[in-house]
């Protein structure tokens, strides 16, 4: 089979269990796909096919050994990710591999250890394809802020894939990997997932370890998954969830078999379920075509027996402001360590360097991009003497109000839904000169991070592409669940996915890159 790249993780794992294919066969299919398409998309910062073939050959040995005992994938014989090729956002440390965070200031940095996510993936015998692009230090909503390249949306090469995990989303959407791991600080997994027509899951804060993930905003950052469907998202979540003694922000959650739970999900669980629609998510800024598509989904859920209920999140209007004060303040502290001395980029032009302070200043001035500098300056100002109470402290108080809003809403609804992004994928360069407009791309996702909740974006259809005749752009539905209720969120999404049938719809294959 030469088109194995089209299959989901669940489908590939099943074929591997039956020994109808080998991991090396899967890898061959993806390598060819990447070599054909990535020169157009620019999702990968670098690939490591030598490492990938070593991983695949080792996985095939593990599967062969398990087969001799009659064991299957996920059934005690070998993990479901065994032999599955994945991409990794270049913000996760992998021992001996380059990790740049798409920033010049880390251009020569080689990771000295594995992040916990990568360590657990290795324990699950995954196949490492390479590192994918992002907005520098995960600061952005379009992947245009990378120091190295601009990633394109596979549905329209003139449009952005979203961000900051745009490389992850584009690599999954174009079938250049079976799945990808990204990070989500204010929507950086869900928003690109929506713009690229894939599933993006941000779990409850503390469910996945942040150890070995380069920090942007410590109270908001969370590792997440980008997958072809809900089942794959559950499989990937299974592999990396759980307490980590190296990360004090992880919690001792009762980790469930998310993949097993999703496998049992069907439309019967929708009947009688209270599905909340926040009025604040349907404001004037929402694109009419997306509004119409979400309304279609609402009507579908009603037909399936869901109880549609209106809920309110009144402090949503303050979420963008609270988020950017919180995130930039924490970024200002986290990025203080990049000084050109200890590791990473150092300014080499000795002219004008009169002191250690000059070296710091020049290294940071030339090593950081404009968006990172903008956020460092804003965060430093917000934390400065005389302004802390007016900005950071007030943002923290607003955060508490947002948490209360969600608690009240979940008293009336079991699940909350709404659009993931206010618009479909926008044109490259369209918003780069208007930072506020760019920041509003995450208006529906930010509050979920502020409230520490799990959120998922799933594709529910397409709308017409206004700039390409016959072209389409994906629409994402955001599903929000109560704290630590990933099982409920995934089950709901799977039941809805089975009815929407996005991957079976011909429109989903209308990739501009093809």
Which tokens is 3 given?
């088109």
Q: Could you tell me which of 139, 142, 146, 184 has the C-alpha nearest to residue 163?
A: 142
Q: From the candidates 188, 363, 421, 491, which is the catalytic residue?
A: 188
Backbone φ and ψ of 72, nearest 5°: -115, 170
CA 269, CA 284: separation in Å to the nearest integer?
A: 33
Concatenating the DSSP letter of every residue in 270-307 gives GTT-EEEEEGGGSSTTS-HHHHHHHHHHHHHHHHTT-E
Q: From the candidates 164, 168, 180, 441, which is the catalytic residue?
A: 164
Q: Which helix (H) or strand (E) holds 47?
A: strand 44-47
Residues 6+ apart with CB under 8 A from 209: 115, 116, 117, 223, 240, 242, 243, 244, 246, 247, 250
Half-sphere exposure of 207 (CA within 13 A, CB side): 30
Which tokens is 210 given?
């942040």
Cβ(360)–Cβ(339) under 8 Å?
A: yes
Distance from the first to the final alpha carbon of the chain:
20
Determine how many CB atoms are found less than 10 A away from the CB of residue 168: 40
Query: Edge-to-edge, what's the strand order for the sheet holding 127-132?
Result: 44-47, 127-132, 85-89, 179-183, 223-227, 199-202, 455-464, 472-480, 415-419, 274-278, 307-311
To which residue do tokens 């929000």 refer? 480
Residues β-bridged to residue 223: 183
Active site residue 115: no
Active site residue 488: no
Strands 415-419 and 472-480, by their bridges, are antiparallel
Strand residue runs (E) in 390-469? 415-419, 455-464
To which residue do tokens 């200043």 refer? 361
Q: From the candidates 13, 17, 42, 89, which is the catalytic residue?
A: 89
Q: CA torsion, points 446, 450, 456, 457, in degrees to nearest 10?
A: 0
Active site residue 188: yes
Specify the 3-state DSSP secondary structure of 222: coil
Cβ(271)–Cβ(491) under 8 Å?
A: no
Active-site residue numbers?
89, 164, 188
């Amino acid at each position: 089979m030469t088109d194995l790249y089209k299959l989901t993780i669940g489908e590939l794992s099943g074929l591997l269990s039956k020994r109808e294919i080998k991991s090396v066969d899967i890898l061959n299919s993806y390598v060819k796909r990447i070599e054909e398409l990535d020169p157009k998309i620019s999702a990968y910062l670098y690939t490591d096919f030598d490492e990938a073939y070593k991983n695949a050959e080792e996985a095939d040995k593990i599967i062969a050994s398990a087969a001799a005992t009659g064991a299957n994938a996920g059934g005690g014989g070998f993990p479901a990710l065994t032999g599955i090729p994945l991409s990794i956002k270049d913000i996760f440390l992998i021992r001996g591999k380059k990790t740049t965070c798409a920033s010049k200031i880390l251009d020569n940095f080689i990771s000295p250890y594995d992040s916990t996510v990568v360590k657990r993936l290795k324990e699950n015998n995954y196949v490492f394809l390479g590192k994918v692009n992002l907005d520098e230090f995960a600061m952005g909503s379009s992947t245009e802020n990378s120091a190295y390249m601009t990633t394109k949306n596979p549905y329209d090469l003139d449009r952005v894939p979203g961000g900051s995990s745009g490389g992850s989303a584009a690599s999954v959407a174009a079938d250049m990997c079976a799945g990808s791991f990204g990070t989500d600080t204010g929507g950086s997994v869900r928003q690109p997932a929506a713009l690229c027509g894939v599933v993006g899951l941000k779990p409850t804060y503390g469910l996945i370890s942040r150890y070995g993930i380069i920090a942007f905003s410590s109270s908001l950052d969370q590792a997440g998954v980008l997958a072809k469907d809900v089942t794959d998202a559950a499989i990937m979540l299974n592999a990396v969830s759980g307490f980590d003694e190296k990360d004090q922000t992880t919690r001792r959650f009762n980790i469930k078999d998310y993949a097993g739970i999703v496998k049992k999900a069907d439309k019967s669980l929708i009947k009688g379920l209270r599905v909340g629609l926040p009025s604040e998510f349907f404001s004037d800024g929402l694109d009419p075509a997306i509004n119409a598509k979400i309304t279609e989904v609402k009507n579908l859920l009603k037909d399936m027996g869901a109880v549609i209920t209106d809920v309110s999140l009144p402090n949503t209007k303050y979420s963008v402001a609270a988020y950017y004060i919180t995130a930039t303040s924490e970024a200002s502290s986290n990025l203080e360590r990049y000084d050109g001395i200890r590791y990473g980029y150092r300014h080499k032009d000795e002219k004008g360097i009169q002191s250690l302070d000059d070296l710091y200043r020049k290294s940071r001035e030339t090593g950081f991009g404009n968006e990172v500098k903008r956020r460092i300056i804003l965060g430093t100002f917000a934390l400065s003497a005389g302004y802390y109470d007016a900005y950071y402290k007030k943002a923290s108080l607003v955060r508490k109000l947002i948490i209360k809003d969600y608690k009240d809403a979940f008293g009336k609804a079991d699940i909350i839904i709404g659009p993931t992004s206010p618009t479909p994928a926008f044109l490259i360069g369209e918003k780069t000169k208007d930072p506020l407009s760019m920041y509003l791309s995450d208006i529906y996702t930010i509050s979920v991070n502020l409230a520490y909740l799990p959120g998922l974006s799933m594709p529910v259809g397409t709308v017409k592409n206004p700039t390409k005749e016959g072209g389409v752009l994906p629409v994402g539905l955001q599903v929000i669940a109560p704290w630590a209720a990933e099982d409920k969120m995934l089950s709901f999404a799977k039941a809805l996915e089975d009815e929407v049938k996005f991957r079976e719809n011909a429109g989903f294959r209308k990739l501009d890159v093809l």
